[in-house]
Each structure stands twice: as C-alpha cells, then as structure tokens.
C-alpha cells in the first residue's frame, strides 16, 4: 500500500493483532482501522451491517463514507484494537443469547407449542433479538446453512476467553456455550451456521425439534 492509504480490516481477530497492524502501518504512513462487523448474512445482503472501529478519527471519517454504502451503524470506539474489543462484547452477548434461544425452543417443543407461533409472540417483547427472530426461525425450519460458520464463532469465543483471562475475568456463561459449540464441531457441524447449536442440545436431550406444520 502507498503512504497516505487507509487500511480497513473487517475481519475479527485479536485486539493485540489490530494494535500490531496499526503500528506497522503507521511506520509506512498508512492509517489502519480495525473494523469488525456484525449482522450476519442478512445484514450484508441488506446493507445494514454494524461496524465497530478502532483507530484514528481523521482516517475513520474518510473511510466511513465508503462503509456507509453497506452498513447502517458505524462507530469509532477509540484507539486501535477497540473495534475488536467491541466485537468480543458482541460475540459474548450472542453466545448466551443463542443458548437461551435453543433452550426456549426445546422447552416449547416439549410443551407442545407451535414454535413459529411462540416466536411470533415473544419476539415482540423483552426476549426480542436477531438470534430469536432470524436464527430461531431457521432452527424450527431445520435450516442449518451458514450465515456465520460454527468454526468461526468458536474462534471468536476463544479470542474472547483469552482476552478475559488477560483481564483476570471469569466468564462462565461464555465458557459453557463454547463447550456446546465444540461438541457440535466434534459431531461434524463445523460448517453449519451458528443456529446448529440446536443439534448439540437435541443430542444431549435425545429429542428432535420439529415444527407443528411438519408434524402434520
């Protein structure tokens, strides 16, 4: 890259790597912005991704003009690496939410509820989330195609746990969910979408969630 260029890195990696890239770029007169995204395949297709950025303000404002073409929320959260730290917060929240969605579906199925009706109802309340509205539907429809690969999510959770250990933090919820996802990978689900978590919990409970419509 030429001096004066701006590097925008949309991958999810460790904050320390983002800081290293920033310093190496700075030596060459290049601005670096760590800019991991959230929103999955739906956000990418609709141009509504959320971009979490770390780096300097001036190059961020220039790069933002381009990022607005495919994103709905773009925010600079401070120094290099802070975009990745924010993405770790995002993944930690998603991990526990996904487990809650799966457990809710399992409970609803055992209770004899129509799962689509159940989702229609509770997604309008405090339980509302992308995980429930989009991925919960895919679970009910037995659609485990990847919007975001299980193996990539496990990689992200590993980074989050490593960063938590550096900060002397105990995150038992994240640790538990990572184990379930690793079990899913051991069962051959590495290339499934993250909604494949349902399969790991089904195996644990010896049950298969099928929508009322399919049963009929």
Span 106-111, average pLDDT: 97
Q: How far is CA 154 from CA 34, 125, 147, 178, in A?
A: 20, 29, 14, 6
- DSSP H helices in 54-206: 57-67, 82-110, 115-122, 130, 137-140, 150-166, 172-186, 197-205
CA distance 46 to 37: 14
Span 204-209, average pLDDT: 95
2 has catalytic annotation:
no
Residue-level pLDDT at 215: 54
Residue 212: band (very low, low, confident or very high) from pLDDT cuts 50, 70, 90:
low
Residue 21, burial from CB neighbour count under 10 angstroms (0-12, 13-18, 19+): buried
User: Does the structure show a pLDDT above 60 at 25?
Assistant: yes
Kindly report the number of other CB atoms within 10 A of residue 206's CB atom.
6
Which helix (H) or strand (E) segment is 26 a member of?
helix 15-27
List the catalytic residue out of 87, 110, 212, 213: 87
β-sheet bridge partners, residue 34 = 9, 54
Residue-level pLDDT at 76: 98
Span 64-85, average pLDDT: 97
- Residue ranges, comma separated, of all CATH 1.10.1040.10 domains in the chain are 84-215
CA distance 24 to 154: 28
Residue-level pLDDT at 41: 86
Burial letters 30-61, b for 16+ CB under 10 A, else e: bbbbbbbbbbbeebeeeeebbbbbbbbeebbe
User: How confident is the model over 140-158, as pLDDT tens digits?
Assistant: 999 999 999 999 999 999 9
6-80: in CATH 3.40.50.10110 = no
**160, 140 contact by CB (below 8 A):** no
The CATH architecture annotation of domain 84-215 reads Orthogonal Bundle (1.10)
Span 101-106, average pLDDT: 98
Span 118-137, average pLDDT: 96
- With a pLDDT cut of 90, the percent of the chain lying above it is 95
- Residue ranges, comma separated, of all CATH 3.40.50.720 domains in the chain are 6-80
Residue 3: band (very low, low, confident or very high) from pLDDT cuts 50, 70, 90:
very high
β-sheet bridge partners, residue 37 = 51
């Amino acid at each position: 890259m030429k001096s004066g260029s701006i590097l925008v890195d949309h991958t999810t990696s460790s904050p320390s790597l983002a800081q290293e890239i920033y310093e190496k770029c700075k030596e060459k007169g290049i601005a670096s912005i760590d800019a991991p995204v959230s929103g999955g395949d739906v956000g990418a297709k609709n141009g509504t991704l959320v971009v979490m950025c770390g780096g300097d303000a001036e190059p961020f404002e220039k790069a933002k003009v381009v990022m607005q073409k495919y994103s709905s929320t773009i925010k600079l959260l401070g120094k290099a690496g802070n975009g990745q730290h924010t993405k770790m917060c995002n993944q930690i929240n998603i991990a526990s939410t996904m487990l809650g969605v799966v457990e809710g579906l399992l409970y609803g199925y055992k209770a004899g509820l129509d799962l689509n009706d159940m989702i229609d109802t509770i997604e309008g309340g405090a339980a509302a989330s992308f995980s429930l509205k989009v991925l919960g539907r895919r679970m009910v429809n037995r659609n485990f195609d990847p919007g975001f690969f299980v193996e990539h999510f496990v990689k992200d959770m590993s980074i989050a746990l490593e960063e938590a250990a550096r900060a002397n933090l105990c995150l038992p919820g994240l640790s538990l969910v990572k184990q379930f996802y690793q079990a899913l990978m051991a069962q051959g689900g590495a290339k499934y979408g993250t909604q494949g978590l349902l399969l790991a919990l089904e195996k644990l409970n010896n049950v298969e969630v099928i929508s009322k419509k399919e049963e009929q």
